[in-house]
Structure 1
């Protein structure tokens, strides 16, 4: 998708993001992250792609010393307008750089939902892992929530799904799949009496084993892979949670 940058999705969708994701309850995500933070070394926590604060704000309410990064000023403005949102320091930038604007080392860095896949090339994803590892304290952890790629759902490398049908609107999601680049390019399509709104989104998916290799290249070790925040067994489908750890002592 031409002219698609790190900030594109957020800038174009900030005003409808919370409405379209209202059914996503962050409770289990926040609980799971809080447990991992409690287990790890003492230090601040960094979220990559904070968005409108869906997870950021309730996690900070637990007393976590939390910082954030996001490419979209429009999304961060939405977060800052919410109670507690303005108290969380957020740097505007590409999450692959892992640059919060300070020299802090972090006890935990995390990215949730499917947002890691918004890094559009393998090189960007590898760079993100390397920069996270550089920012982690010894014993610190990198936590990712990712969807298992489901390429079987695409017929002739395309799909059209109906997400909402109401008296005054229909919302569709149209996606093209590029199996060579491991890429999805799509649009949320909102049709109302006022007209049609397009909200583009592109993702470069990676397989779990590919993420493990990126971690190894960065000097991180996999500690857990669960099928959800309740530590369910991973069965190769749906969203899953992976915990990587920076060794307390360098590997010889």
Structure 2
């Protein structure tokens, strides 16, 4: 998409993000991340693409020392308006840089809800892995929740899905798929009697084996790959939670 940048999704979607994703309960993610933090070295924890604080705020409520990075000031403003959100330090910037304005080392860096794929090139994703590895303490972990796309959904490399139909509105998602660039360009389309609202979203997906190679290039070692935050076995489809570790 022309003029689509790292901040576009958040700036265009911040006011409806929590409403549109209200069915995503963060409880399992928060519980699993808290367990992984206890298993690892001591130190602060960093969330990439912190967004509206859906995961970071309840983690911080458990006494975990958290930081955040996000490209969208609008999304971070939503987080800071929530109870507890104003106490979490957040840097506005590109999550590939893993830059919090300090030289501190992190016990864990994590990114949830497939947001890692908002890095739109392979180069940016590789750079993110390298910068995460540089900022992790020995024994620290990089945790990613990513979706393996179901390409069978796309006829002629495109799809149109109906996400909601109500008495006064319809929400659709239209997507074009670029199989060579491993890229999706889409629009959330909200149609009401007040008019039409467009909310663009683009992402560059990576297969689990490609993520493993990025980790190896960064000097990180695979530790776990689960089918979800309850540590269920990963069967090769749908979302996975993958944990990489920096050698001690």
Q: TM-score, normalised by structure 1?
A: 0.98
Q: Matched residue of 1:184: which SS? A: strand
Q: Is the 8 A contact 1:149 1:206 kept in 2?
A: no
- Alpha-carbon RMSD across the aligned residues, in angstroms, is 0.4
Residue in structure 1 matched with residue 226 of structure 2 by the alignment: 226
CA shift, 1:136, in A, is 0.1
CA shift, 1:238, in A, is 1.2
Equivalent runs, 1:141-160 vs 2, <5 Å: 141-160=141-160
CA shift, 1:113, in A, is 0.5
Q: Is the 8 A contact 1:107 1:136 kept in 2?
A: yes
Q: TM-score, normalised by structure 2?
A: 0.99
* Count of residue pairs the alignment pairs up: 248
Structure 1 segments of 4+ aligned residues over 2 angstroms from their partners: none
Please tell me whether residue 32 in structure 1 is matched to residue 32 in structure 2.
yes
CA distance in 2, matches of 1:197, 1:224: 40
CA shift, 1:101, in A, is 1.3
CA distance in 1, matches of 2:148, 2:235: 10
Residue in structure 2 matched with residue 137 of structure 1 by the alignment: 137
CA shift, 1:90, in A, is 0.2
Q: Is the 8 A contact 1:142 1:245 kept in 2?
A: yes
Q: Matched residue of 2:229: which SS? A: coil
Residue in structure 2 matched with residue 107 of structure 1 by the alignment: 107
Residue in structure 2 matched with residue 185 of structure 1 by the alignment: 185
Deviations 1:132-182 (A, max 9, x none): 000000000000000012111100000000000000100000000000000
Residue in structure 2 matched with residue 67 of structure 1 by the alignment: 67
CA shift, 1:127, in A, is 0.1
